[in-house]
Structures are given as structure tokens and as C-alpha cells.
Structure 1
Amino acid sequence: MIGATMNKRMEEATRLTRAGKLHEAMALLQGAIPESKGEEASVKPYQGGKIFEGTCEVVDEDGSVSKSRPTSRASSSAYGHGRKPRAGAFTAGRFSSHAGSRDYKLYIPSGHKGQALPLVVMLHGCTQNPDDFAAGTNMNQLAETQQFCVLYPAQPVSANNSKCWNWFKAEDQQREGGEPSILAGMARQVIDTHGLDASRVYVAGLSAGAAMATTLAMTYPDLFAAVGVHSGLPHGVAKSLPDALGAMQGGTGPLGNSGKKTGVEWASEVPVIIFHGDRDTTVHPNNADRVAAQYGASRPAGGANKPTVEKGKAANGHAYTRTTHHDAAGKPCLEQWKVHGAGHAWSGGSVKGSYTDPKGPDATQEMLRFFMQHQQPS
């Protein structure tokens, strides 16, 4: 009964948050959740072992299932005797490891003939799923024309009542445990299975997915060559649902490069592109600046290569301000888009998906442009 009551409170808090009533949601949760506990973890921290060991099964378009033998990152036969999805198909699969299991959808463009293509990992927002997110971002259409693969991990209701990635839990903010371990292992296995380019792996997300994307960039900088954060939050600023709602309201907390011990630990050199609407009532727009602060390690010291600021407007859509920082070699390493008049939605997205704003600018196109300028050093 207690668990059922808690679930109802969390569902109501999520509804209030979506409606922009953050204070009411905060009050509801603070009265319902024991201090520093938050929602009970559905994925226990992974203690030791090889991070990328796991098994996969692929559900082909005809609904049949091909199971694999256990594999590791070092293995070249990630699916064992299972069948690979046909090129050009949007197929379903499941990844399992010691850290947990998640379903996923995978898009492979029809032009894939075994060449080492890039991989973009897309993390949906709360209440969404891979199909919804793919439709709203148009990422598969661009994958077909620009030749890269797209991996859409799925967060189940069993892990979070609203299908949010658990970016606000301490056990899901570390390299060798919880959701970061599952997502990194899933990406590695897809790369191994399909012979993709391990030096060109990127991750992007919306809202809770964006918060988890920046957590992946912080915890697996050796895997992800760049990250896209749309309407997201900084890494490590929350340890519970009440903390999360406080951060979403624009609460203050330690940031990367803040001079504090925890801030230094959170600094990253992974290149980042950030989108955020300045009328977002779900995740306060100041979180975009707070995310950018955690990636300050990628910027040249001493004020070299001052950022460039560009103002523009999407055709028949929103105006925007783009601020770009360049590394010592002159390559963009931090790009921040403030979309004027936009709320909590994927900029330039399709009405076929939820939480999209077709008035642009096109976040999908811009993220891909930014991503393809970066790869892991050889």
C-alpha cells in the first residue's frame, strides 16, 4: 500500500511539473519521500566485473527473436549465431548485462554495406519512447541521407514511473554502475556487432534524456566524442526527486570548474552543443548555462579564442542566439543555442512526435553538424 501511494504521488508530481506547477510538485514530494532517499532504485549499482559484458537479442521486423551468447567489448562476434537486422530497417532489440537490462530500437541506413559508420545514441524524455522520439526529431531521416546509425535506448515504467532516465540518483551517476553502465555497454555492443566507427560515437537527449546524456559524457568521455543537451540539466546536482525538482526550478548547486572539489570532478573536455528555450517552464533556462559551466574544461585558458555570438531567426519561426567557443585549434568545442520564445520541446522537431516545436531552429541538423566535426583521438 505504501508503494502504491508513493507511485501515485510521483505520477501526480510529474503531471504538476509538466503543467509548470513546480512548487506544488516539490511540496508534494517533500511530504512524501524520506530525506535523501527519493524513488527506490530499480537498478542496483554494478559492483565490479567487466563493464561491457552482456547479451543481446534482436527482434527482427517479422517479430522473430535471435538470441546471442555472452560477449564482451573484446569480442568480435557480439551477437554470436544470431541474425543481424536488415540494413535500412528500424529494428528492436534488448541489451542485458550485470548492471541491468534495457530494450532499444536501432536504425541502420540502407546504404550500410559493412563500412564503419558513426553512431548517434538518442535518449528520449519522460513519458516518451524510442518510436516517439525518432518521429519527433527526424533523426532516422537524416541517418538515411547522411549515413550513420541511430540507437534509441528505452526506459521502461519498471525503472521509472514516467519513463524518465534516473539522472537524479547517485547510483545512476557513476561510470561502473546503474544506467550509465547499461547505456555505455549497449552502445559498445552495437558498435562491435555492426562494425561501426568507435571513434565517432555521439549521444544526445531531451530533458531527462539530456541530463543522462551529459552524465554519460562525464562518466564515459572515452566513448562519446561529443554530446547534445536539449532542455537538460547539469550532471550530479541532484540525488533525489526533490533535489531534481529544485534543480529544474533553477536551483543553485556546485558546477563544473567552480573551484570546489565536486565541481572539478564534474568538469569535462567532451565537446558539447546545448539547446534550450528561454520560455521553458519545466526545466529553467538557466540550466543551460549551468550545463555549459561543466564543460568549461574544453575551453582554452586565459581567455584565448573569445566566443563568437550570432543572432538569427529560423524561417517563419523563433529567433535565437548562438554562442560558440573554440578550442586551441579553432574547432568549435562548446556551442550554446538560446531559442527565444520556445518552451520545453525539441527545437525544429516534427509534430509527429511529442514535445516538439517545429518553429525551429533545427536542433537535429545542428547537432549532427556539430557532432561530425569531432571524433576520439586515435
Structure 2
Amino acid sequence: MNPGLLELAVVIPTFNERGNVPVLVAKLDQALRGRNWEAIFVDDDSPDGTAQAARELARVDFRVRVIQRIGRRGLSSACIEGMCATAAPLVAVIDGDLQHDETLLPKMMTALEADPKLDLVVGSRFVEGGGTGDWDRDRVAKSAFATRLARHVLKAELSDPMSGFFMIRTEIVRSLVPRLSAIGFKILLDIMTAAQRPLVFAELPYVFRLRTEGESKLDHVVAMEYLIALYDRMFGKVVPVRFAMFSAIGALGAGVHFAVLALLFRLGSMAFVSATIVATLVAMTFNFFLNNALTYRERRLKGWRQLLDGWVSFCVVCSVGAVANVGVAAFLHDARQGDWRVSAMAGIVVAAVWNFALSSRFTWGRYK
């Protein structure tokens, strides 16, 4: 072994993991003794100073590197940036929360070095010898359901497609980057479904550990992102995922529109045009906040100033659509004297295309 030849890069996506940084590096130092490696912390501008903690360590340990991302969020995209930032022939992804077993890394390296046909090695919780640690029954059931969904997309007998702990040949990742969606938290699923040929993989067992520092990143939005990632791989080429999300939220907004309109026009005896204007504004506000949380999550607006500015710009850039909405609905209602709901729906459809095109460019597009 050439003592100066870099063999492995360990990519560690982080958000609010300051206390785990030195502990993880110490564990990597022990596990990878005798190997030439580097640790690349890719931090999404953690408010707890995770990036600074990694930089302080990098001053005394040349193997530690830091990528601090400003204005960008997302585990998958962080992993992609880290994997493309190394010259090492092998790259591993491991969480910064110490729940993955770093002692498995040398075995992963050995497996890839011994078999040139092997593309990646996955740390699995669900093969013999692996385990989920202290997970309760509810979390185990949810993970099993998500795994079944993933297998339908993968079309491969991978026992743990939800794993965030794996090692892959760097050249393979680089070749796949243009086709990666970078959506959500499951970069392994993204890599395996983006490959034009089935990747040759092996699985090694490990037991998921209990978190001791920081806070869990699992929430309902993460679950939503997982479903979005699956949709993108199955149907994204037909209907882009962002447009699908915007349209789905628009459908919910239509429900809000109808509810407000019915309340004001049918029950409150307000004039149809006035009721339509109020319903349009309420639905627009609803759509803005939900799109900010989901559709544009990676560049969502934060703080009351940004939110107020974003809401105002959203209303302004969609004003043409809103005017068309009200105008078309009022015209059809007055001309046909038919079902008020049909008139309202016609106005919503006319406004939908304007809302997506203009808000993508002028509301969230300004905050890339």
C-alpha cells in the first residue's frame, strides 16, 4: 500500500450534529486504521455550528474536509456534492448521528477490492446478523412498508433499499450524477434507479444504533419526500415531479376555494363575484404556504420578512391568473346562470398554468 495514496472518502451529510463531529472522526480513525481516508462533512448551514466544529477539527487533522452549503438543503443533494468532491476511488456515505456502524467500512472496502465486478456494498439492517436496535413496532412496520414500495421501483432483491449506509465506486457515482434526482433522504434508492444497468451489489449486516446526540430528522415531510422520490422515478419523465406537486396542492386549494365560496355565496348570501374574489385570495394564500413547505422545500422562504415578501410576490405574479379566474367564473355564471361550481372550476383551471409558471420564476426562483 502506498502510504500517500487516498483510498476512501467518507461523506457525512449533517444538520445540527455539532456534538457528534469529533466523536465520529475518532471512531473513523479507529475503524480505518492502516487505510488512507478522508472525511467530508457536507453541512446544510446548521444553526448549531456543525460546520465550524468540523473546520476546527480540520485545522489539526488533514483528513477532515468541510463543505458548508448556504441556501441549499437536502440529504441526497448533500451526498452528491460530497461524493463528487473527492479523488478517492471509493466513497462511502454514513450518517453523522453515530447510528451507523463505522466498523463495517473496512469490510466494505475489502469486498470491493476483492471483486472488480462489484459496484457497491450496502450496510443492511435486514439480512441475517443485522437489526434495527431500539425501534418500536410502529417504526418497524413503516420501514417494512417503505421497503416494499422501494422494491417495486428497484426491481432488485435488495433487503434494505432504505439504507443510508453504503460504499460505492466513485467513478460510478460520477457517471450517474446527471441522472440523479437529488430528491429526499434516500440517496441509495436514487443511485440504483438512475443506473442504466443493474448495479452489482452485496449486503453486509449491521445493527442500527441508538442516537445519543442531536435530534432526529425524521418527520412527516421526510416521509412525503420519500413518496415524491418514488413518484419521480416511476412517472417523473412523463409529468415532472415539481409540477405534479404544485398541481396536487392546487387541487387541495380548489377544495379550499369551493369551501369558502360555498360558505360566502350559498350560506352568507354574498354576491358571487365578491365571494369568488375572497375565495381566490384564501386559496392563493393556502397554496403559497403549502408550496413553500413542500414543492419548494429545498429553497423555502424562512422568517416573517421572507414569507411576507414571498406571499406578496406570489399574489402579484399570479394576479393575471387571479383576474382571469374571477373574470371567467363571473362571465360563465352570468351568461349561463348554471351551476356556480362549474363556473368556479373554469376560473381555477385558467389560472392554474399562470400560477405555476410565474411563481416558479418570480417567487421561489429569486431565492435559489
Q: What interval of TM-score do these two structures reach, taking the shorter chain for normalisation?
A: under 0.3
The structure with the greater share of residues assigned to helix is: 2
TM-score normalized with structure 2 length: 0.26
Structure number having the greater strand percentage: 1
